[in-house]
Amino acid sequence: MRHFRLSVLLLSLILAFAGSALADTVNMTFLGPAGNNSGGVYTFPYEFSVNGGAPVALICDAFDNEVVAGETWQATASPFLSAIPSGGSAMWNGQTSAYKAAGLIFEGILNGSIDANIGNWAIWGLFSPTARNDPFFQNNHLANMDLTYQLLGSVTPNSAFQGLVLYTPVAGTQSWGGTPQEYIGYVSVPEPAEIVLMLMLVIGSMLGFAFRQRLGLKLAIAQQA
């Protein structure tokens, strides 16, 4: 019976960690752009509160949709690659090549190797003909950048996208206007070794507690005897 309970507990822990990788519905509040702009529009970063939390910086990939500061809506928050396949939650599900390029460009913005204005326009151009026809996009030759990153994405391992989160709006939940924009964010995730260590610590604590309980029971029986 004790072994069964321990097995159930270990299974619950594994499921808890696995559940963190599943899609979730979150409440989005757009606080406003942080100030960057080019081509007459604001670019990354866009400041959000997710589920009422502290401000986080997200990047927009939906050029043709509009949002306003203070607007709220619900979104499906998914680990990046899980949302992309056909039938997934992504706004343009099935466009794996475009999303992988967008993810790599965003990572380049985060590490400082790509200018935020240039990178955001390049991401918009992956999904929007309107953005591709804009003078800013064309004058900066961003079609070449998009093609380069699409080719790069085709040979990049999925592990390179770990930590990226896709926030896809749920149509009809917005407090203003039409369907809001889709955004990409980044959250730090523990390395596999860190997860194993955490599991070992939890299991060790539980076994220690069980041992102390059993030892205490034996001492109590001995004293009664």
pLDDT tens, position by position, 166-214: 999 999 999 999 999 999 999 976 544 544 455 456 455 555 555 565 5
Residue 217 domain-assigned? no
Listed range (52-61, 112-121, 211-220) with the worst mean pLDDT: 211-220
Range of the domain at 176: 22-189
How much is the pLDDT for 41?
Answer: 97
Residue 68 lies in a domain: yes
| C-alpha pair distances (Å), 111 with each of 58, 115, 183 | 14, 10, 18
Residue in the block written with tokens 């959250």 = 187
Name the residue among 33, 91, 31, 26 with its Cα closest to residue 61. 91
Residue 160 lies in a domain: yes
User: Does residue 220 lie within any of the structural domains?
Assistant: no
Total domains, the chain: 1
* Domain assignment present for 14: no
Residue scoring higher pLDDT (225 or 7): 225
The neighbouring-strand residues paired with 186 are 164
Per the domain annotation, does 225 fall within a domain?
no
What the block records as the tokens of 44 is 């990354």
What is the phi/psi pair of residue 144, to 5°?
Answer: -65, -40
| Closest alpha carbon to 170 in 83, 75, 58, 90 | 75
With contact defined as beta carbons under 8 Å apart, do 156 and 131 qualify?
no
Report pLDDT for 188. 76
Find out whether 119 and 131 touch, Cβ atoms under 8 Å.
no
pLDDT of residue 212: 60
pLDDT digits (tens, 9 = 90+) for 134-165: 999 999 999 999 999 999 999 999 999 999 99
207 located within any domain: no
pLDDT of residue 23: 79
- Span 69-119, pLDDT tens digits: 999 999 999 999 999 999 999 999 999 999 999 999 999 999 999 999 999
Query: Model-level pTM?
Result: 0.78
Q: Is the pLDDT of residue 20 over 60?
A: no
Whether the per-residue pLDDT at 13 is higher than 50: the answer is no
Distance between start and end Cα atoms, the chain: 26
pLDDT for residue 207: 57
Q: Return left, alpha or beta for 30; rule: phi > 0 is left, psi -120 to 50 is alpha, else beta.
A: beta
Neighbours of 108 (CB within 10 A): 18
What pLDDT score was predicted for residue 220?
53
* 213, part of any domain: no
pLDDT level of residue 8 (50, 70, 90 thresholds): very low
| Nearest-angstrom CA–CA distance, 132 and 142 | 8
